[in-house]
Amino acid sequence: MIELERYVQYFRDVDFTPSGTSICRSTDRGVYLPSNPVHILIGLSCLLEAGAISKSDKFLDAGSGDGRVTIGASLLGLDATGVEYDPHLIALARYHATQINVNPTFLQGDFTSDETFYPGNFTDFGVVYNFINNERDIAAKIANESPVGTKFVLYGHMDDKTLPGLDYQFGFKHHDFKTPVNPISPRIGIFHIYRKLPAKRALAPAARL
């Protein structure tokens, strides 16, 4: 428990800039905006408790930013990997992991490219997380390549919950009104859970009576 509290305080300190400026910025693939560390721990714990994800699934944060989701997932006992295009954020993530005393894997590259995962495979991951940034690209990769049953956890607001090839399972919302004076990560966390379905088979023609 102390470990989890330290994790939350650590990333709240990371997010705090005395000038009140945001640490959000553009990267060569998207926008860096960190998840709220409280939402990460509570969201992933609820998913584990509900059996929606399992510790036997390899966990991937697609677009891992400064590594906080991957590090939080490691603290909760998941076999976690983060993939991020921006090399400075990858270096930062590796530094944060040493500060929190966990040892997840961080891969630098584009999450839509299979080369990024070499010598592993994208299809090894049973749970993929994304904080709405190019979420349709990663959802399409799961739908096209991952084994049936692969879970997709989407964090953040989204009105249209339809993702081709994936089945929407459920969603939940968590509020964090304790976020300090200089909040840059969302106070309201919304999680949507999807699952890859078997390909639809053509129906056999009805037998003639």
Q: What residues make contact with ligand SAM under the rule CB under 6 A?
A: 27, 29-35, 61, 63-65, 68-69, 83-86, 89, 110-112, 131, 133-134
- Of the pair 191, 209, the CB lying nearest ligand SAM is at 191
Closest CA to 64 of 128, 7, 146: 128
Q: Using alpha carbons, list the distances in angstroms from residue 60 to 1, 73, 160, 195.
A: 24, 9, 23, 15
Give least dist CB 81 to ligand SAM, A: 12
Give least dist CB 147 to ligand SAM, A: 21
Rounded Cα–Cα distance for residues 137 and 82 (Å): 16
Give least dist CB 198 to ligand SAM, A: 27
- Of the pair 115, 204, the CB lying nearest ligand SAM is at 115
- Of the pair 28, 148, the CB lying nearest ligand SAM is at 28
- Of the pair 126, 129, the CB lying nearest ligand SAM is at 129
- The alpha carbon dihedral of 140, 145, 148, 150 has a sign of negative
Rounded Cα–Cα distance for residues 109 and 200 (Å): 33
Give least dist CB 83 to ligand SAM, A: 6
- Of the pair 9, 197, the CB lying nearest ligand SAM is at 9
Instruction: Select the residue whose beta carbon is closest to ligand SAM and give its number.
Output: 63
Q: Using alpha carbons, list the distances in angstroms from residue 99 to 43, 71, 145, 181, 197.
A: 22, 10, 35, 24, 39
**How do 151-155 and 105-108 pair as beta strands?**
unpaired
